[in-house]
Structure 1
Amino acid sequence: MGWEASGEAWGSRAADWAYLWEPYSRPANETVFDRCGITPGTTLLDVGCGAGYAARMAADRGAAVAGLDASEGLLRIAGARTPEADIRLGDMFDLPWADAAFDVVTSFNAIWADCAPALVEAARVLKPGGTFAMTFWGSPKRMGLLPYFMTVAENSPTSHLEATLGQAETGRPGVAEDLIASAGLTVVDRGAVQVTAEFPDLDLFTRAAVAAGPSVPAIEQMGEERFREALAAAYADAVEPGIGLRISSEFGWVTATK
């Protein structure tokens, strides 16, 4: 899938993604920004910035923020969240910034094991001595979203199944490190953090799930109603009366320097 098609998939229900999903990543965003030492005046680029939730957090710490994403719909929200940010539509394999432009470059579940050229680009725009950080899905044993990904995989074309498995591969020990080293960066540290998505009921959860880019091939193949029914069945036992649905998953993270 090219970057334009990816952007269309992720931006098809941009507001639902931005407001029902993005806040769940906050613990990972905070951990990465702490590790990167974000302070007032830090220049930061978030690659695959989506609707700009992480970028807004970095700006609140005083960073001069830039962001790139393939989805025009998501970027409209990112621009509304942080009007002062340098937000651009484009391809992460061809970043529209000069060499050594940023103190920090981040990727929150945007650069995967099969995206080596994107990491080379991230390294190019990073200043010498600067910090790169990326997150990715953690251990399947600690993935509350695993039934979602299984539902997507089971009802999508084979090519999408292979892409989904490739994303999971990124979290295996050494994979992200090798990817980073191949871009000429030096790994500094690795860790993991739990993030939790919360929904009052299955109806809102399945509405949110439809807004996620990976859902699109399954929806195209089986229809939205059947897709939502399959997801509701997969999570029916996880709903607690009076509490709702809380889905905790692990993000792995790696930091590196140039």
Structure 2
Amino acid sequence: MTTTPSTTTHQPAGHRWRTAGDAWGHAAVDWSCLFEHYAVGVIQVALDRLGVGPGSRLLDIACGSGLAARMAEVAGAEVAGIDASERLISVARARCPDADLRTGTMFELPWDDQGFDAVTSINGIWGGCEAALAEAHRVLRPGGRILVSFWGRGHLDLRPCFKVFAAHSPDAHREGMRRTNDIARAGVAESMLEASGFEVLERGSRMSTVEWPDADTAWRAVSSVGPAVPALQHAGADVLRPLVMEVLERTRDEHGIFRFRNDQEYVVAQRPR
């Protein structure tokens, strides 16, 4: 597959993809081992709805440490992926040595037009990221399908955790979080996809679940997410940890397991033939 990058789309004003990559990669090992598997349910939906199997060419946008790529490879697909974090891509390459995995921006994909049968973005494309959808449309073949997922508006154990992070972050970061989460509002994701030339086929949801055996593991997992970084830099772990663990205590069951459950919504769309 050739690698001519797009020259027609650009990242949104104010978006610094390298900064985002540094944030999401700050605890890459903890993220990859303790948190990323929250998405198994919606990845399974994606592989089914997009018809991923032997002979399929799949691109995973914001591929993180490669969980979706690995599952697609197991299904028989030829896989490529891109992420802003070099540390996460390093883990992904170790997991998926045969995949074409690159560090870069989803707003200028380094692949040619119509090179893929399917595109996934598992909680990677958010409000204000229309340019990324335009790039996804460009690299999909006619008739190819895309699935994008994001946190929904139902049950969210992460909401009180993220409120702690937001309350201890600079004002500019809180505004950015509001903008990105706008995609969860009814009809927003569909409108973004349609504006990029897609035909929307389906909207659905899965309850994501991730479990941790003890408080130390739970803190390492939750503090590995990118949105935690501004708060960690601004207030410090000594301030944040007791506040986050107070709200996480509500998720602990009678066995002492922290069971972190969140509404994960998705939209499936198709590039017209």
Q: Please, what TM-score do these two structures have when normalized by structure 2?
A: 0.92
Of 114, 131, 143, 1:117 maps to 131
1:151 lines up with 2:164 in the alignment: yes
Report the Cα distance in structure 2 between the residues aligned to 1:42 and 1:240, rounded to whole angstroms: 41
For 2:240, the aligned partner's letter is F
Alpha-carbon deviations, 1:92-138, whole Å to 9, x = none?
A: 11000001110001110111121111111111111111001100111
Equivalent positions of 1:61-100 (< 5 A) are: 61-100=75-114
Of 137, 143, 150, 2:151 maps to 137
Name the counterpart of 2:202: 189
1:88 alignment partner, SS class: strand
Report the Cα distance in structure 1 between the residues aligned to 2:242 and 2:113, rounded to whole angstroms: 48
Percent identity between the two aligned chains: 42
Bigger shift: residues 39-48 or 147-156: 147-156
Aligned length: 257
Report the Cα distance in structure 2 between the residues aligned to 1:178 and 1:201, rounded to whole angstroms: 41
Asked whether the equivalents of residues 56 and 81 of structure 1 are also in contact (C-alpha less than 8 Å), the reply is: yes
Report the Cα distance in structure 2 between the residues aligned to 1:98 and 1:237, rounded to whole angstroms: 48
Of 50, 53, 77, 1:36 maps to 50
Asked whether the equivalents of residues 113 and 170 of structure 1 are also in contact (C-alpha less than 8 Å), the reply is: yes
Asked whether the equivalents of residues 180 and 256 of structure 1 are also in contact (C-alpha less than 8 Å), the reply is: yes
Asked whether the equivalents of residues 157 and 251 of structure 2 are also in contact (C-alpha less than 8 Å), the reply is: no
For 2:123, the aligned partner's letter is N
For 2:166, the aligned partner's letter is A
Asked whether the equivalents of residues 201 and 239 of structure 1 are also in contact (C-alpha less than 8 Å), the reply is: no
2:141 alignment partner, SS class: strand
* Consecutive unaligned residues in structure 2, runs of 5 or more: 1-14
Name the counterpart of 1:175: 188
Of 129, 140, 149, 1:126 maps to 140
Of 232, 238, 242, 1:229 maps to 242
1:48 lines up with 2:71 in the alignment: no
Asked whether the equivalents of residues 108 and 134 of structure 1 are also in contact (C-alpha less than 8 Å), the reply is: yes
Of 98, 102, 118, 1:104 maps to 118
Alpha-carbon deviations, 1:147-170, whole Å to 9, x = none?
A: 111111111111111121223221
Alpha-carbon deviations, 1:33-83, whole Å to 9, x = none?
A: 111111101000000000000110001000000000011100011001110
Report the Cα distance in structure 2 between the residues aligned to 1:113 and 1:238, rounded to whole angstroms: 28
1:21 alignment partner, SS class: helix
Name the counterpart of 1:257: 270
CA shift for structure 1 position 236:
2.1
Q: What is the RMSD computed on CA atoms of the aligned residues?
A: 1.0
* Consecutive unaligned residues in structure 1, runs of 5 or more: none
Name the counterpart of 1:163: 176
Q: Which structure has more helix as a fraction of its residues?
A: 1
1:203 alignment partner, SS class: helix
- Provide runs of 4+ in structure 1 moved above 3 Å: none
CA shift for structure 1 position 202:
2.0
Asked whether the equivalents of residues 249 and 258 of structure 2 are also in contact (C-alpha less than 8 Å), the reply is: no
1:188 alignment partner, SS class: strand
Asked whether the equivalents of residues 193 and 200 of structure 2 are also in contact (C-alpha less than 8 Å), the reply is: yes
CA shift for structure 1 position 240:
2.5
For 1:16, the aligned partner's letter is D
Of 22, 37, 41, 1:8 maps to 22
